[in-house]
Amino acid sequence: MAEVRFDDKVAIVTGAGGGLGRSHALELARRGAKVVVNDLGATIDGSGGSSDAARQVVEEIIAAGGQAIANGASVTDDAGVAGLVRQTMDQWGRIDILIANAGILRDRSFAKMEVSDFNLVVDVHLMGTVKCAHAVWEIMRAQNYGRIVVTTSSTGLYGNFGQSNYGAAKLGLIGLMGTLKLEGGKNNIHVNAISPVAATRMTENLLPPEMQDKLKPEYVTAGVIYLASDEAPTGAILTAGAGVFALARMYETEGVYLGENGLSAEEVRDNWERISDPTGHQAYTAGGEQTMKFLRKVQAG
């Protein structure tokens, strides 16, 4: 099989000053991509900021023979995101790949969490991805080519204590991906999600030291590189870490038609076993497929 290459492709990687983003940027460059290394340089809670980390990654790429430029814009800043796209277009004239990786943490139980902490995490993870994707969307449509990889999390897919803000933002990205994959399909824009398990600055206090080496960011990057390639699927949620890869999907049971007249909470309760029966469950690719199932069951009933 041929090597996955990105020659003549231009990639933007947000949050690429360290951890996962740095790993993604280095590997894209190693495989021939011209890379924009974006990083605000903030701490994991989003405070502060310096472009030094982004510049260091650029220096690594150039020293290895690649091409890269640094950008220090915040993904939450409309003007900054516009400047990021303008800088990229001025430098290389196209944008083929967006890896939306930037993120912060402000963990607390829901009872103790300030709404401001909720807003900020959603603003960075969800709206930061929205703003970057929206800024490159028309460019990719005009090219009839684009690859966007959003970064979700097991917290968004399944929940995690103390991370209601993070989980809400991360699952929101799956909803975004689901629609963008449909709207971008006719223009060869593929949109996928990576759900990483990796030892980074954001997880160093959560994982025991003996696990850190098994969860290198590079093990996640292999999956990101595939999702950003010409051969990439679209609408996939790829979970990755420690050399393990799996596909996460949202399934819906076949369900049961209870009739239109006299429906009650008691009928739902009494039919719960049939409603939740996993036999014949499906992973839909668009919301309309669920509607068609409902109409089919009404007609059959």
Check residue 46 and give its pLDDT.
45
pLDDT value of position 44 = 55
Kindly list the averaged pLDDT for each block of 10 residues, start to end, along the chain of length 301: 96 97 98 97 54 94 98 97 98 98 96 97 98 98 98 96 97 98 98 88 62 86 98 98 95 94 89 97 94 90 74
Q: What is the DSSP string of 213-237?
A: GGG-HHHHHHHHHHHTSTT--SS-E
Ordered by where they begin, the domains of the chain are 10-248 (3.40.50.720), 265-300 (no CATH)
**Distance, C-alpha 239 to centroid of its chain:** 11
The predicted structure's pLDDT at residue 43: 52
Set 145, 166, 219, 226: catalytic member:
166
What sign for the dihedral angle of Cα 54, 60, 62, 65?
negative
Residue 166 bears catalytic tag: yes
Report the pLDDT value the prediction gives residue 213, as an integer from 0 to 100.
Answer: 75
pTM of the complete model: 0.93
How far apart CA 54 and CA 132 sit, in angstroms, is: 17
What was the pLDDT predicted at 48?
47
What pLDDT is attached to residue 261?
A: 74
Give the strand order in the sheet containing 146-151: 67-71, 34-38, 10-14, 97-100, 146-151, 189-196, 237-241, 244-248
